[in-house]
Amino acid sequence: MKMTFRWFGSKSDSVSLEQIRQIPGMTGVMGFLDYKPAGDVWTEEEIKKYIDEVHAAGLECEVIESVNVHEDIKLGLPTRDKYIENYRITIRNLAKYGVKCIVYNFMPVLDWLRTDLARPNPDGSTSMYYDEAELGTLSPIDIVKRTADNCNGFSLPGWEPERLEDLEKVLKLYENVDEEKLLENYRYFLEGILPTCEECGVVMACHPDDPGWQIFGLPRVAHSQEGYDKIIKLYDSPCNTVCLCTGSLGSNVDNDVPSIIRHFGKMGRIGCLHVRNLKHLGSDRCFCESSHLSSDGDLDMYEIMKAIYETCPNTYIRPDHGRMIWGEVGRPGYGLYDRALGVCYLNGLWEAIDKAAKSDTEVK
Ligand code: DNO
């Protein structure tokens, strides 16, 4: 397992590479150029600049996140071919600088969604929070505005302003796209890019829908084992993989996260993992993002790490969203302290699982 940390670049992150490197067991970052609009080519110059900086800090950068898919591709519009060609160029450019895994998602219009980015917890920390009952009182435009107003001035991954400008128009276009049509458009996209990935030795890892169900009547396909099975079948290639985000999948109480990890781990189809916990509050569709500790949330982090250890031990993982603790002010979900605590906890579980497995082998 390679432990990594998401980093938004020196101009955009409140956390420095030096701080990341000082977290015990850290091997590298999951990178991101947060200023790139969906559909644009990520140029060699900008990739080199970002990755050189990471290398100079003594860290690796083999995973890149949020190379966002242009809405015209998800909608299946005639203009999609141009954006698919741009995506292929980006894949080649990233591969030239050592990137092995690209995380993306196929969620229509909105990426991950919360109704509160800083909900106070009884211990004085704050967490990101989602309540479907509250979402019911808001329009997509209201939630976009609320999210933009509450992000402490930081950009949020998946919430690029350009993409959300034409929100009303885009939402209207989705009235003609059901789940089946979305899957067809998804197949067309994969057919367009996966041969390039095979050629360059890069895997594509699809991030789950977050929360893990449909919202605002938009079609969404990546929030269950069955949904991912369909995606994997769209194009059979070892480069067609899952970014297994335990918090996104775990938001849906029907998902057994360790068992989903085992299913795709055994198939060799986990490109990387985001590992975090969450706690449901009074309803299946209301949750807050807890600390990583099993006893603070609903997910069994020991079973999750064990499933990774047993089925995909060489994968990249990173702690995911943390709470804001110790008075830290930063990008919601992406402060230093709670994520660093998450890393130490996950590393501790890993060491215990590894030692237990080795001593079992010795006894036998
Ligand atoms: C949220 C992240 C997502 C994820 C993208 C991948 O904080 O986990 O933005 O990186 O959905 O495309």
pLDDT above 90 (res 364): no
Ligand 1 atom closest to Cα of 157? Answer: 9
Supply the pLDDT for residue 361.
Answer: 81
Supply the pLDDT for residue 74.
Answer: 98
The class of domain 2-363 in CATH terms is alpha beta
Instruction: Name the residue of 6, 105, 331 whose CB sits within 8 Å of the most ligand 1 atoms, as the mutation to test its pocket.
Output: 105
Stated pTM of the model: 0.97
Supply the pLDDT for residue 126.
Answer: 98
Compute, in angstroms, the gap from residue 170 CA to the centroid of ligand 1: 20
- The residues with which 221 forms a beta bridge, in sequence order, are none
List the catalytic residues: 207, 245, 274, 320-321, 334
Ligand 1 atom closest to Cα of 67? Answer: 12
Interatomic CA distance for residues 259 and 262, integer angstroms: 5
HSE of 48 in the Cβ direction (CA atoms, 13 Å)? 5
pLDDT above 90 (res 21): yes
Tens digit of pLDDT for each residue in 110-136? 899 999 999 999 999 999 999 999 998
Is the torsion defined by CA of 114, 117, 119, 120 positive or negative? positive
Q: Which helix (H) or strand (E) covers residue 5, if one does?
A: strand 2-6
Compute, in angstroms, the gap from residue 67 CA to the centroid of ligand 1: 10
Share of the chain above pLDDT 70, in %: 99
pLDDT above 70 (res 163): no
Ligand 1 atom closest to Cα of 334? Answer: 7
Supply the pLDDT for residue 362.
Answer: 78
Supply the pLDDT for residue 29.
Answer: 98
Compute, in angstroms, the gap from residue 364 CA to the centroid of ligand 1: 43
**Residue range 92-110: mean pLDDT, rounded:** 97
Is the torsion defined by CA of 272, 275, 280, 281 positive or negative? negative
More confident residue, 168 or 304: 304
* Full DSSP string of 61-103: EEEE---PPPHHHHHT-TTHHHHHHHHHHHHHHHHHTT--EEE
pLDDT above 90 (res 192): yes
Residue 213 pLDDT level (bands cut at 50, 70, 90): very high
Interatomic CA distance for residues 341 and 336, integer angstroms: 9
pLDDT above 70 (res 254): yes
Strands lying side by side in the sheet with 279-280:
116-120, 126-131, 286-288, 279-280
Supply the pLDDT for residue 165.
Answer: 77
Which residue, chain included where needed, has tokens 């955009």?
A: 12
* Full DSSP string of 97-135: TT--EEEE---SS--S--SEEEEEPTTS-EEEEEEHHHH
Ligand 1 binding pocket (C-beta < 6 A) is 65-66, 103-105, 111-112, 157-158, 207, 245, 274, 333
Supply the pLDDT for residue 346.
Answer: 98
- The residues with which 242 forms a beta bridge, in sequence order, are 206, 270
Instruction: Write out the two tokens for 215.
Output: 């919202």
What's the mean per-residue pLDDT of the chain?
96
Tens digit of pLDDT for each residue in 299-358? 999 999 999 999 999 999 999 999 999 999 999 999 999 999 999 999 999 999 999 999
Q: Are the C-beta atoms of 278 and 290 separated by less than 8 Å?
A: yes
Stretch among 8-22, 160-174, 205-219, 337-351 having the lowest mean pLDDT: 160-174
- The residues with which 218 forms a beta bridge, in sequence order, are none
**Residue range 211-216: mean pLDDT, rounded:** 95
